[in-house]
Amino acid sequence: MLAGVLHIAPYIYFERSLGLEYKDVHMTGAYDEDFYLALVNQARVGKSAFANPYTYENRDQGINFRYQILETLIGKIAHGLRLSMDAVALAVKFFSSAILFIILFVFGRSLTKSATGGVLAAVFVEFGNELARLELGPALSTIFHWQSSFNSFLFYDRPVYPSITAIFFFLALFMSWRLLENNKHLLALWLGVFIGLISYLYFYYWAFLIILISALLVIALIRKDYSLAKNYMLTIGIAVLASGPFLLNIYGTLGQAGADTANIAKNFIFTHRFIIEKVLLLPMAILGAIFVWFKHKSRTFPRQFIFLGAVLITGLLASNQQVITGMEVQQHHFHFMTNIPILLLFSGVFLWYLLNLLNRDIPMYRYVKVMTISFVIVAVIAHAVGVQASSYRYWDDEFVDRQRWAGAFSWLNEHTDKNDVVLANFEVSESVPVYTHNYVYGALHAMSYPVPIERLAHNYFTEIYLAGVRADNAREFMDVNRDKMGQYIFEGQYWRATCGSFGCFPDSWFEKLVSDYQTFVSKPFEEQLKKYRLDYVIWDTRRDPVWQLDKYKLPKQVFLQDDVVIYNLKP
C-alpha cells in the first residue's frame, strides 16, 4: 500500500492542490507517458489500440512486433467502468506498483530466505532506479533536497511499460529461480508458456528471458545436472513454440518500412559493435570475488549467487546480441528495462548476505545489522521521494496551465466524429489522442508508425510556419532545431543509435528539408492545410499568440474558453 501511495502521491497532491481548478488533465511527467495513455484511450473510445492513434490516413497501420494487449484490456475496463483518463492513469500507477512490490518482495525473500531481505530487495529495485542512473556528487545530493532538475518521476510510474510489464518480467525471473532451486518438471512447462506469453507483451523482456534460460542450461550442463538441463530445454522449446506468431511478425518488421517511410522498426540498425554495460561490471566483479573466496575456503558456492551470476551474464549478452546477429535492437531498452533492475536486485541481495557474514561475536552485531538495513531502506525511499518532489516542482506550472485545454477536449468529444482530425501545437497534439476520440494532423509520436517521411515533414512544416518561420530564416531555425526536427521526422532513435543524436541525419536530408520548406511557404497556407484531412484547429492564444489564425480564411469559430479557440473547417 505504501509503495503504491508513494508512486501516486504527487499526482494526488496536484489534483487536491488545484481543487475546483483541476479539470482532469493528468500530470503526465513520466517519459513518453502520453504515448502509452493514448493507446489505452484508443481502446477506451472503441478504436483499436493496435493501430496508429495519430494519423488518420495511416490509422490502420500498426507496428508488426507490438501487441497492445495490455492497453486494450485497460481501455476496455476503463470504458466499462466509465473512468476518465486521469482516473485510469492513477489506477494503473497505484495497483501496478503495489503488485510489483509484492512480487519483488516474494522474489527477494526466496533469494535471501528472509522477509527483511525481501523488503530490502523490493525497495532497491522499485525505488532505486533513478539512484542507479545518477552520477555521485552534487547531482545526487540535490535529489534529497528536492531541488534537482530531475523531471521524469519514478521509473515505474510510466503506465504499462514498465509499470505492468515489469510484473510479468520479475514473476518470470522468480519462476526461473524456483526452477533452479527445485527442478520441477511442471514448473519448467509453465515457465515456458509464461515466457512465450511475455513475447506478446514486451519484446525485450522475452529476449532477455530466452537468453537467461539458455545461460542456465549451459550452467546445468557444466555442473552435469542433466535432469535440470532437460527441464531448461523443455522451457525453451515451449517458449519458442508459444511465441511463434510473434517471431514471424518481428521478421516481417524488418522489411516493413522503406527508405521514404518512418517507423519504429528503423531503430533496428545493422552493426556488430560491442557495448560495455558499465552498470553490470561492478556486480560481476563482486560476484567473481565472492566465487574465488568460496573456492578458497572450499565452501559450496550458494545457488542464489549462481542464479544472479547467470542473470548478470544474460544482461551482458542481451546488450551485445548484435555482435553475433548483426542487428542492434534499441539496446537502451535492455539497459533501462532489464540491466539496471538486475543491478539493483543484486545489490539488495548482496547487501543482505554481506551483513549476514558479520561475526555474531562482534559486539552489538544485531544492532549494527538492523541500523544498516534501516538506514539503507530509508535512504533509498528518501531518494525516491526526492525524485517525485523534484519532478512535481518541474511540471507543476506546466500542468496547471494545461487544465485550460480540458474544455476544448470536452467540446471535441461531444461535437465531433471519431475520425475527425485536429490541428494543434506540439503539446496539445500529443494530448488530443489521450483525452478525445480524434486523430491529429501531426504529433511527435506519429513517427513510431509506418508513416511517409513526406507526411511527417509536412506536419513539421505546418507547425513551424504557424510559429512564424519563413523562407528567409528557415535554414537558421532548422539548423538550431536540428535535433528536434530529426526526432519528429525520422523516428529519431535510429539516428541516435547510429551516430549519437537525433539530428545527425545526413546533410543531404537537411538540404532537402530546407528546400522543401521553402517550396511549402511559397504556396498559400490555406492550400497547404488541404493536402491532408483536417476538420478542426485548436489555437491556444495564450501560448501561441504568433499563430494569428484569425487572419486566415478559416470557416468559423465554434469554441472559445480559457484563451483556447476551436475552428471548424468542415464544409
Query: For the ranges 56-70, 98-112, 230-244, 532-546, which has the lowest average pLDDT?
Result: 56-70
Query: For the ranges 58-62, 164-168, 355-359, 381-385, which has the lowest average pLDDT?
Result: 355-359
Cell of 38: 493514448
* CA dist., res. 363 & res. 361, Å (int): 6
The answer to whether residue 447 sits within a structural domain is yes
Higher pLDDT: 218 or 489? It is 218
% of the chain residues with pLDDT over 90: 73
Asked if residue 434 and residue 500 are part of one domain, the reply reads yes
Higher pLDDT: 155 or 328? It is 155
What is the average pLDDT across 353-367?
76
The answer to whether residue 60 sits within a structural domain is no
* CA dist., res. 235 & res. 30, Å (int): 35
What is the average pLDDT across 327-340?
90
Asked if residue 16 has pLDDT above 50, the reply is: yes
Write down the pLDDT at residue 146.
Answer: 66
End-of-domain residue from the set 323, 357, 391? 357
Asked if residue 524 and residue 466 are part of one domain, the reply reads yes
Which amino acid is it at 219?
Answer: I
Which burial class, exposed, middle or buried, applies to 299 when counting CB atoms under 10 A from its CB (0-12, 13-18, 19+)? exposed
Q: Which helix (H) or strand (E) holds 522?
A: none
Asked if residue 207 has pLDDT above 50, the reply is: yes
Q: What is the mean pLDDT of the chain?
A: 90
Which burial class, exposed, middle or buried, applies to 334 when counting CB atoms under 10 A from its CB (0-12, 13-18, 19+)? buried
Query: For the ranges 37-51, 355-369, 507-521, 525-539, which has the lowest average pLDDT?
Result: 355-369
Asked if residue 258 has pLDDT above 60, the reply is: no
What is the average pLDDT across 198-222?
96
Per-residue pLDDT band for 67 (boundaries 50, 70, 90) equals confident
What is the average pLDDT across 125-137?
75
End-of-domain residue from the set 335, 357, 379? 357
Query: For the ranges 65-74, 146-155, 365-374, 409-418, which has the lowest average pLDDT?
Result: 146-155
Single pTM value for the model: 0.93
Asked if residue 463 and residue 546 are part of one domain, the reply reads yes
Write down the pLDDT at residue 552.
Answer: 77
Q: What residue numbers bound the domain in which 560 lies?
A: 406-568
Asked if residue 256 and residue 199 are part of one domain, the reply reads yes
- Angle 244-253/203-222 helices, nearest 10 degrees? 120
Asked if residue 301 and residue 189 are part of one domain, the reply reads yes
Write down the pLDDT at residue 412.
Answer: 98
Residue 329 forms beta bridges with which residues? Answer: 268
What is the average pLDDT across 366-394?
91
The answer to whether residue 141 sits within a structural domain is no
Asked if residue 429 and residue 552 are part of one domain, the reply reads yes
Asked if residue 460 and residue 563 are part of one domain, the reply reads yes
Asked if residue 99 has pLDDT above 50, the reply is: yes
Asked if residue 39 has pLDDT above 70, the reply is: yes
The answer to whether residue 61 sits within a structural domain is no
The answer to whether residue 430 sits within a structural domain is yes
Per-residue pLDDT band for 400 (boundaries 50, 70, 90) equals very high
Q: Are strands 327-329 and 268-270 parallel, antiparallel or unpaired?
A: antiparallel
Cell of 258: 522503406
What is the average pLDDT across 503-507?
90
Asked if residue 47 has pLDDT above 80, the reply is: yes
The answer to whether residue 162 sits within a structural domain is no
What is the average pLDDT across 240-248?
90
Residue-wise DSSP of 311-327: HHHHHHHHHTTHHHHSE
* CA dist., res. 483 & res. 569, Å (int): 32
Q: Is the peptide bond before 162 cis (omega within 30 degrees of 0)?
A: yes
Cβ partners under 8 Å of residue 564, min gap 6 = 404, 405, 407, 408, 538, 539, 540, 541
Write down the pLDDT at residue 136.
Answer: 46
Asked if residue 500 has pLDDT above 90, the reply is: no
Per-residue pLDDT band for 375 (boundaries 50, 70, 90) equals very high
The answer to whether residue 312 sits within a structural domain is yes
Per-residue pLDDT band for 257 (boundaries 50, 70, 90) equals very low
Asked if residue 135 has pLDDT above 60, the reply is: no
Asked if residue 457 and residue 546 are part of one domain, the reply reads yes
261, 451 contact by CB (below 8 A): yes
Query: For the ranges 36-40, 176-180, 289-293, which has the lowest average pLDDT?
Result: 289-293
Asked if residue 150 has pLDDT above 90, the reply is: no
End-of-domain residue from the set 333, 357, 381? 357
What is the average pLDDT across 71-78?
97
Per-residue pLDDT band for 496 (boundaries 50, 70, 90) equals confident
Asked if residue 328 and residue 438 are part of one domain, the reply reads no
Closest CA to 131 of 389, 382, 391, 308: 382
Asked if residue 416 and residue 341 are part of one domain, the reply reads no
Write down the pLDDT at residue 143.
Answer: 62
**Counted domains in the chain:** 2
Asked if residue 420 and residue 543 are part of one domain, the reply reads yes
Asked if residue 453 has pLDDT above 70, the reply is: yes
The answer to whether residue 387 sits within a structural domain is no
What is the average pLDDT across 326-355?
92
Asked if residue 30 has pLDDT above 70, the reply is: yes
Asked if residue 435 and residue 549 are part of one domain, the reply reads yes
Write down the pLDDT at residue 149.
Answer: 65
